A and B are shown apart, each in its own frame.
Chain A
């Protein structure tokens, strides 16, 4: 459907949503998506069904949402809202996608408050925390193995881990130094390859 639209850009008219529609659409996605399915739902809703933006714009947004800081689904919602209705559209989309998860997590915080006097609660949550660490580690390993096999990126990853993780240095100065160095190294590595 989206391909058909792209091949005939003249007759393809984008729809401009009203703010309520934008909010409800992302509220629905926030309510029904678990984990990774929100991206596919956002694509289906905003590109295919409602035609708020074009496929190539959505893909740009997807790249931005992944690279830049922030939660990916929230960033993507922000981008779609921004393209469709500007700054206020972005605010509506973000509120929509965050609200359900925010309510659920508050409810869980409330239940935790009520149950925290039982030792069983802490024992079970310790196990869940270990599983949560595993989910984090699995992602970390996947990203690490996708990195180019070169000394500089490996060294940067190890130094960041050691300074923040082992020596408990504040994260902000570490990242403020590491990010420009790492980006410059990646840039020069690419330039070097292009010249040779």
Chain B
């Protein structure tokens, strides 16, 4: 069982590494569907781990380390982290010399512009997946809406917003 989970972690994160266009936010939906679908995490645990990964410094892809730790301990964290970084790194490695040799290639800008719509679709799918896993009620939906507006229309740091929301929720919990 333990070994199966370690291999399972690699099989989940290594392919998703190749799809993490623009970073970890693009693959959140599939991470949720797979980890909860495999029975590794409950919806509530996934929501918690997503929250921690967004509050933590560093790239959002590191949610792989958190899930690996939760599912299979320290070894799980290490393997999941390797799985999420090695395939995408191999692509960067392979592409960098080609990129250098073709400075003005029309294919390059087509790749840049062509990946954007896919990334957008995946990012919104990820947002929906987290809200579904959280069984978001009116409070969570209102929080998300207010914070989205705040982050979109002002230059407020996401970390500041996340910290404030955490404090406000702590206050609500102990008052209500």
Neighbouring B residues of A186 by C-beta, 8 Å: 109-111, 113-114
Interface extent on A, as a size class?
35 or more
Q: Looking at the complex, which one of B61, B106, B174 makes contact with A191 (CB distance below 8 Å)?
A: B106
Interface: A131 (CB within 8 A): yes
Q: Is the CB of B123 within 8 A of A139?
A: yes
Give the Cβ gap from A181 to chain B, nearest Cβ, in Å: 8
In the bound complex, how far is the Cα of B119 from the Cα of A175, in angstroms?
A: 9
Neighbouring A residues of B112 by C-beta, 8 Å: 63, 67
Interface: A14 (CB within 8 A): no
Q: Is the CB of A102 within 8 A of B51?
A: no
Q: Is the CB of A94 within 8 A of B19?
A: no
Neighbouring B residues of A12 by C-beta, 8 Å: none
Q: Is the CB of A190 within 8 A of B166?
A: no
Q: Which of A129-187 contact B (CB under 8 A)?
A: 129-144, 146-148, 153-154, 156-161, 164-166, 168, 170-172, 175, 178-179, 182-187
In the bound complex, how far is the Cα of B66 from the Cα of A129, in angstroms?
A: 15
- Which secondary structure characterizes the binding site on chain B? helix
Q: Is the CB of A165 within 8 A of B128?
A: yes
In the bound complex, how far is the Cα of B88 from the Cα of A70, in angstroms?
A: 5
Q: Is the CB of A130 within 8 A of B114?
A: no
In the bound complex, how far is the Cα of B49 from the Cα of A153, in angstroms?
A: 32
Q: Is the CB of B148 within 8 A of A71?
A: no
Q: Which of B39-87 contact A (CB under 8 A)?
A: 44-45, 47-62, 65-66, 69-70, 74, 77, 81, 85, 87
In the complex, the chain A residue whose C-beta lies closest to that of B125 is: A165
Question: How many A-B pairs fall under 8 Å by CB?
Answer: 345
Neighbouring A residues of B168 by C-beta, 8 Å: 127
In the bound complex, how far is the Cα of B117 from the Cα of A186, in angstroms?
A: 10
In the bound complex, how far is the Cα of B49 from the Cα of A155, in angstroms?
A: 32
Using A106-B69, A143-B22, A187-B110 as known contacts, say yes or no to A70 and B89 having CB atoms under 8 A apart: yes
Give the Cβ gap from B153 to chain A, nearest Cβ, in Å: 9
Q: Looking at the complex, which one of A122, A139, A146, A175 makes contact with B25 (CB distance below 8 Å)?
A: A139
In the bound complex, how far is the Cα of B166 from the Cα of A130, in angstroms?
A: 10
Neighbouring B residues of A158 by C-beta, 8 Å: 121
Q: Looking at the complex, which one of A60, A74, A131 makes contact with B89 (CB distance below 8 Å)?
A: A74
Known pairs A69-B91, A130-B134. 14 more at Cβ < 8 A?
A35-B57, A61-B96, A69-B21, A75-B88, A105-B65, A108-B66, A109-B77, A126-B47, A129-B140, A133-B148, A136-B54, A137-B144, A165-B125, A171-B19
Q: List 5 A-B contacts (CB under 8 A).
A: A78-B93, A124-B166, A126-B134, A142-B152, A157-B118
Chain A residues near B (Cβ < 8 Å): 30, 33-35, 57, 60-61, 63-75, 78-79, 82-83, 87, 90, 94, 98, 100-102, 104-106, 108-110, 112-113, 116, 120-144, 146-148, 153-154, 156-161, 164-166, 168, 170-172, 175, 178-179, 182-187, 190-191
